[in-house]
Amino acid sequence: MSKLKRRIITIVAAITMVLPFATLGNSASTNAASTVNAAATSKTVTVTDQAGDKVTVPKNSKRIAVVGIWPLPAVITTFFNSSSRLVYMPQASMAAAKNDLLSELYPNITKVKAVNDNGGATFNTEELKKARPDIVFYTAENPKTKAKLEQAGFKAVGVSTSKWHGNTIETLDNWYSLLSKLYPQKKSQAKVIKNYSDKTYNRVQKQVKTIPTSQRKSVFFLHQYAASTLSTGGSNSFADYWAKATGTKQVVKNAGAGNGLAVTMEQIYKWNPQLIFVTNFTTAQPKDLYNNTIGNYDWSKVAAVQNKHVYKMPLGMYRSYTPGVDTPLTLLWMAKTAYPSKFKDVNMVKEAKTYYKKAFKVNLTTKQAKSIFNPSSAAGKSTISTQQ
* Average pLDDT of adjacent 10-residue blocks, the chain of 388 residues: 45 39 38 41 89 95 96 97 96 94 97 88 91 97 95 97 95 96 88 94 97 97 93 92 97 82 95 97 96 96 98 97 97 98 97 96 96 90 53
pLDDT of residue 388: 56
> What CA–CA distance (Å, rounded) separates 158 from 148?
13
Residue 146 maps to which CATH number? 3.40.50.1980
Do 76 and 117 sit in the same domain of this protein?
Answer: yes
DSSP at 142: -
Do 226 and 78 sit in the same domain of this protein?
Answer: no
Q: In Å, how far from its chain's centre is CA 135?
A: 17
Residue 174 included in any domain: yes
pLDDT of residue 387: 47
Total structural domains in the chain? 2
pLDDT of residue 259: 87
Do 369 and 233 sit in the same domain of this protein?
Answer: yes
pTM for the whole thing?
0.86
Residue 23 included in any domain: no
Measured CA to CA in angstroms, residue 66 lies from 59, 70, 110, 301, 372 at distances of 18, 8, 15, 43, 24
> What CA–CA distance (Å, rounded) separates 316 from 301?
32
Range of the domain at 138: 44-193
Helix locations, the chain, DSSP H: 3-40, 72-80, 91-97, 101-105, 125-130, 143-151, 168-182, 187-208, 238-245, 265-271, 286-290, 303-306, 327-338, 348-360, 366-372
Query: Considering only CA atoms, which of 323, 325, 243 is closest in space to residue 277?
Result: 243
Do 283 and 174 sit in the same domain of this protein?
Answer: no
pLDDT of residue 254: 73
Do 140 and 85 sit in the same domain of this protein?
Answer: yes
